[in-house]
Amino acid sequence: MANHPLQNMVTRAVITAIDTVRKCQTAGLKLIAGEKKENVEHLEPYGFTSAAQNGAEAVVLFPGGDRSHGVAVVVADRRFRLKGLARGEVALYDDQGQSVTLTRAGIVVNGGGKPVIFTNATKARFEMPIESTGDIRDNCDSSGKTMAEMRTTYNGHTHKENGDGGGITDKPGQPIS
């Protein structure tokens, strides 16, 4: 630790603990030269929050050089940072491979092999064509069927004839493909 107040104002640190329960998140830190600090406030940008893994790095400010009340202003983790973005691209990511990337060609949501769940909305509206390389299932929590299963059922269905013939009708003349 330097003796001059200006030299004590900014330092790098490694995250050793995170407390996300408080109104302002706090971190345990190991600073340069082995100095340790607990309950250092981590100020996050409005509307964004994260819980960094131990080993992430931080830039810590000590106003006036007073080491008794530091503030972590930036926390990053080079182990998980997305690499290879083009200039102007932006990404939100985590340590599990999940990400949302605003690319030059469009928005890419990568679920990292996990479900992507939308909740607490009155509806989801898409004002564009929708394409899927997987099955689409309706009423998935109550014996729903995929669109492929619905096509198979429709294309193979028959009815009892209500007229004079008394037999079974043919399959539909216009199957859904």
Question: Cα–Cα distance between 53 and 59 in angstroms, integer?
Answer: 15
The residue type of 89 is E
- Domains of the chain listed by start with CATH number: 5-76 (2.40.50)
User: Any idea which residue has 């509307």 for tokens?
Assistant: 47
Average the pLDDT over 144-173 and give the result: 75
Predicted confidence (pLDDT) per residue in 96-127, tens digit: 999 999 999 999 999 999 999 999 999 888 89
Q: What is the DSSP code (8-state) at residue 133? A: S
Q: Is the pLDDT of residue 92 over 90?
A: yes
Predicted confidence (pLDDT) per residue in 3-61, tens digit: 666 778 999 999 999 999 999 999 999 998 899 999 999 999 999 999 999 999 999 99
pTM, two decimal places: 0.74
pLDDT category at 140 given cuts 50, 70, 90 is low
Give the SS3 label for residue 5. Answer: helix
Q: Is 60 exposed, middle or buried (0-12, 13-18, 19+ CB in 10 A)?
A: buried
